[in-house]
């Protein structure tokens, strides 16, 4: 694989114009107010597990439309009080997985809340939450990128972004989660969800976003043939008369518009050979990010990014913002 985008010296200066609807803030305020009209009803049920050093709890809470959303909560068995908390979102196609697949953060002394992803969890990681809303129906290319895409009110990511905000609210109800020390975290789609939450929740301790997806939609669809962005291009290829309608919807969900509102310290990562989430889309988000920020560059990597090599950097960041 070779470099797929602008040179690094161009990327660090890349600040494209944002396309933000006039009612962007009102749309999200109304969306979250509607979700909050349903009690969070967060339930944490102990899970029988052979793990001796980590407690595992099966989570159910109410997300968009009051629909039950699944998750996991893990924390050290030795914990005696509220802990700094990582709320993690999963990459495209995946779900919350099995409870013993993500032990790193709990082993490091954090409470770790892992949100399931509605309507996903069949591509590479197990999911347990359906997407049961008829208002998301309509023509769509396989996958979820174009589900309900002809209006912001019906678009799939309206539901998922709302679930992600509610996951933070659910985590804050647990006695072992310190609500003042929450870091949202994820890679790819999970990184995009972290940035959306950072723009919608104003009291986070930090944001860990790796090779984030859902940023700078228009450019992404124009410079990569990689999926999932290609789902949008394929939809527009067939629905030639609806291209501007599609991108109007996407303007309510573009990470650039959330990044411009985010104030929590953030650590991004970017891979310069990433043909799934092209580096210019990541830098567009990073350069618009309003809060304190840093970015780690993996020059010769694709969408896998830094993987385990990035973990020490993430640990250091989380420790600093939650101390």
Residue among 285, 289, 305 at smallest CA distance from 297: 305
Domain covering 8-322 in this structure, CATH number:
3.40.50.1820
Residue-wise pLDDT for 222-245, tens only, equals 999 999 999 999 999 999 999 999
Phi, psi of 184 (to 5 degrees): -90, 145
From residue 128, alpha-carbon distances to 62, 68, 71 in Å are: 14, 10, 9
Residue-wise pLDDT for 159-217, tens only, equals 999 999 999 999 999 999 999 999 999 999 999 999 999 999 999 999 999 999 999 99
What pLDDT does 191 receive?
98
Residue among 196, 241, 243 at smallest CA distance from 218: 243
What pLDDT does 135 receive?
62
Q: Are 125 and 97 in contact (CB under 8 A)?
A: yes
Active-site choice (216, 274, 275, 280):
274
- Concatenated DSSP letters of 153-174: TT-HHHHHHHHHHHHHHHHTTS
Residue-wise pLDDT for 42-61, tens only, equals 999 999 999 999 999 999 99
Active-site choice (185, 216, 303, 310):
303
Catalytic residue check, 107: no
- Enumerate the domain spans of the chain: 8-322
Residue among 96, 13, 120, 93 at smallest CA distance from 47: 96
Q: Across the strands, what pairs with 55? A: 75
Q: pLDDT grade, residue 262 (50/70/90)? A: very high
Tokens standing for residue 319: 């420790």
Active-site choice (5, 163, 185, 188):
188
Catalytic residue check, 303: yes
């Amino acid at each position: 694989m070779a470099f797929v985008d602008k040179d690094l010296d161009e990327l660090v200066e890349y600040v494209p114009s944002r396309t933000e609807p006039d009612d962007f803030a009102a749309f999200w305020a109304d969306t979250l107010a509607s979700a909050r009209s349903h009690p969070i009803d967060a339930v944490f049920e102990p899970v029988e597990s052979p793990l001796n050093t980590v407690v595992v709890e099966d989570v159910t809470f109410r997300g968009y439309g009051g629909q039950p959303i699944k998750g996991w909560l893990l924390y050290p068995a030795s914990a005696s009080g509220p802990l700094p908390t990582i709320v993690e979102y999963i990459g495209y196609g995946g779900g919350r997985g099995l409870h013993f697949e993500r032990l790193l953060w709990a082993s490091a002394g954090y409470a770790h809340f892992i949100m399931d992803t509605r309507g996903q969890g069949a591509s590479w990681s197990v999911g347990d939450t359906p997407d049961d809303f008829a208002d998301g129906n309509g023509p769509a290319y396989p996958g979820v990128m174009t589900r309900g895409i002809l209006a912001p009110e019906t678009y799939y990511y309206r539901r998922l972004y709302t679930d992600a905000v509610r996951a933070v609210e659910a985590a804050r109800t647990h006695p072992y989660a310190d609500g003042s020390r929450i870091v949202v975290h994820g890679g790819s789609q999970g990184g995009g969800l972290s940035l959306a939450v950072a723009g919608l929740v104003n009291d986070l301790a930090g944001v860990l976003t790796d090779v984030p997806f859902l940023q700078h939609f228009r450019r992404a669809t124009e410079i990569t043939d990689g999926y999932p962005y290609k789902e949008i291009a394929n939809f527009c290829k067939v629905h030639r008369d609806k291209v501007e309608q599609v991108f109007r919807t996407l303007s309510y969900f573009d990470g650039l518009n959330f990044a411009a509102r985010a104030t929590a310290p953030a650590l991004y990562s970017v891979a310069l050979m990433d043909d799934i989430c092209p580096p210019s889309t990541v830098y567009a988000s990073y350069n618009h990010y309003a809060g304190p920020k840093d970015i780690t560059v993996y020059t010769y990597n694709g969408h896998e990014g830094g993987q385990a090599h990035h973990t020490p950097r993430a640990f250091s960041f989380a420790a600093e913002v939650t101390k």
